[in-house]
Amino acid sequence: MTELAGKPFLYVVVCAAGVASGVGTLIAEAQERGWEVGVIATPAAMNGYFDAPGTESRTGRPVRSAWRSPADPRPFPPPDAVVVAPATFNTVNKWAAGIADTLAVGTLCEALGLGVPIAVLPSVGEALAAHPAYQESLTRLRGLGVRFGEGRVPEGFAWTRALELLDRP
Ligand SMILES: Cc1cc2nc3c(=O)[nH]c(=O)nc-3n(C[C@H](O)[C@H](O)[C@H](O)COP(=O)(O)O)c2cc1C
């Protein structure tokens, strides 16, 4: 744990998928389970996909989507774990390829290199999931220890599945 006297810190990475509007469920459940949460959204996700002001109130921290200026302090402590939910086709492929053109993907690339536990719930439809690049990205990231779960379920989106994936050793 990075915060010796405090709670473990969870980064929640939010991508621009329609289901992102429900990410408050994940944040509330993570807090319930003892995590302190900081949200990093892709720039596209900031375009109305989820309630950013409500998320800031809920987490007590700014939602990050751009890199800080060199002189600014780090807004979040280092992560004890990372959840990517919902994860888009675009972000998964860029992450696997190491194209760190957003703070979200840069953070994911770094977390991978640091060996931080990462759980991912993709929101990717069948047509995009059939693309060979996506299948290769999943194989590559799974091979590096990234934990993938099924986000899309008949009842909606299985947000808490991400936290269960982190519980596993
Ligand atoms: C209403 C709406 C819903 C979308 N839902 C998804 C989705 O579930 N999964 C996905 O991969 N892309 C989805 N997209 C497309 C992404 O927003 C688009 O690929 C975007 O570039 C992803 O950026 P990001 O990966 O940086 O968040 C959706 C687009 C719109 C307009």
Using the predicted structure, report yes or no on whether residue 169 has a pLDDT greater than 80.
no
Q: Average pLDDT in the 11-37 region?
A: 98
Tens-place pLDDT, residues 46-89: 999 999 999 999 999 999 999 999 999 888 999 999 999 999 99
Least-confidence region, from 3-12, 42-51, 54-63, 120-129: 3-12
Question: What is the CA(44)–ligand 1 centre distance, in A?
Answer: 8
Atom of ligand 1 nearest to the CA of 19: 8
* CATH number (domain holding residue 25): 3.40.50.1950
Residue 137 within a domain: yes
Distance CA 16, CA 48 (A): 9
**Does ligand 1 come within 6 angstroms of the Cβ of 112?**
no
In 3-state terms, what secondary structure has residue 166? helix
The count of structural domains within the chain is 1
Residue nearest to atom 7 of ligand 1 (CA): 17
Give the pLDDT band of residue 5 (cuts 50, 70, 90): low
Q: Containing domain of residue 19, as a range? A: 9-167
Buried/exposed 1-19: b ≥16 CB within 10 Å, e otherwise: eeeeeeebbbbbbbbbbeb
